[in-house]
Amino acid sequence: MTSETTVVAERDAAIQDALVKLFGPEGRSDPYTPGRVLREAGPVHQTPLGHRVLTRYEDCAAVLSTTAWSHAEEAGMMHPTVSPEDAPEELPTSFLWMEPPDHTRLRNLVTKGFTPRMVTRLRPRIEQLTEQLVDNALEAGEFDLVEMIAYPLPLVIACELIGVPEEAYAQVHRWSLDLARGFDHDYTLPEEALRARSAASRGFMSYFRELLNERRARPTDDLLSVLSQVEDRGDVLTEQELLATCITTFVAGHETTANLIGTGMLRLMRNPDQIAAMRANPGLAAYAPDELLRLEPSVQITTRAATRPITVAGHEFEKGEGVVVLINSANRDDAAFTDPDRTDVSRYADRMKPANRHLGFSLGIHYCLGAPLALLEMEVLLDVLLRKVRGIELLSDTPPFKPNVVIRGLEALPTAFTAD
């Protein structure tokens, strides 16, 4: 074997090892080291399941930004065990996996209900709830931040926004966890996770259908009531669209935000100089959430399929061919971000020389509709912590992560607070 052949063989072995680690158990706590190996080895690689993966910011951003790539094929790529006939009940994702013109029509209707004014109106309630949760944590002294803050904050806000009563909080939370787990590729999920996803989807559909009937009889000012009445030149949401939209809104507004809070706080506790920077300049709390999401995206990967023959990263994709976008790798590309692995809560504060947009909320027509709410919840939490908590201490060097690959988050975050 020549030296050149040896180098190629070693490179290929390193790539395959990184892919195994990225999508395997090791990637739960650290998907970024294998992501860096892949990114430095090349812009595109092939997974053991046969999918191409993109590693670099320029290519990932280009794919997410254009309708030359469709999100409508995700069900087929990631969930081959679900038949097209069962998908509406098994995978109720609303406009998330649609393309124009259906996506345009449905998103325009939903946007009429999910307005910036609605998000702004929620701020006093978010502040009130956050104060209460932080006070409870201070009283406990040592506690699990995931259990006492990261999940309750977005859970209660999402439930109140949509119109879910308090007695149902625990049930919809369990369904949300099972759906988030089920976003991973079907062939990587144990049978019990597939069954749990199916039960959660059908449970959500049945529950929201019952709630919708109540709102149609007695409308309130919650999102479910608003969406049931929204209209655009005679066009309205069908019942199936409305139910799927509520489920998507709930899971996205609850699960991914909880993960942002958990992993974001873990990163800050591991970088206490950044907490000190926010204490010195509290205005940075408004910019820190974007930096935390860049470094710890709740949605780690997404998929697209080519709508026509197209070349990306030197690879020619045929029409219909799929690609996996590694958001976790793209967000740490040193060609796009200065010192990309460093936590810098001021990175997005310079309006004269703005940093590149991270891909944590996607780009293009699939940019996250709930992004302002997620950022607001994290910002308010940081504001309250800076004001009320003097000591923020991580009590475990290795807090456990959930087994999820696509929607990544902590299972627990042992923490200690001391009052200011």
- Using CA atoms, how far apart are residues 79 and 399, in angstroms rounded to an integer? 29
Rounded Cα–Cα distance for residues 91 and 77 (Å): 13
How many DSSP H helices and E strands does the chain contain?
19, 10
Predicted pLDDT at 73: 75
Is 90 exceeded by the pLDDT of residue 229? no
pLDDT digits (tens, 9 = 90+) for 305-360: 999 999 999 999 999 999 999 999 999 999 999 999 999 999 999 887 888 999 99
User: Angle at CA 315, nearest 5°, toward 314 and 320?
Assistant: 145
Residue 127 banded pLDDT, cuts 50, 70, 90: very high
pTM of the predicted model over 0.75? yes
CATH of domain 40-419: 1.10.630.10
Summarised one tens digit per residue, pLDDT across range 152-188 is 999 999 999 999 999 999 999 999 999 999 999 988 9
Domain ranges in the chain are 40-419
Peptide bond connecting 101 to the previous residue in cis, omega within 30 degrees of 0: yes
Cα of first residue to Cα of last residue in the chain, in angstroms, is: 65
- Per-residue pLDDT for 10 more than 70? yes
Report pLDDT for 202.
Answer: 92
Residue 243: burial class (beta carbons within 10 Å; 0-12, 13-18, 19+): buried
E-only strand ranges, 67-112: 69-70
- What angle (nearest 5°) sits at the alpha carbon of residue 36, between those of residues 32 and 38? 115
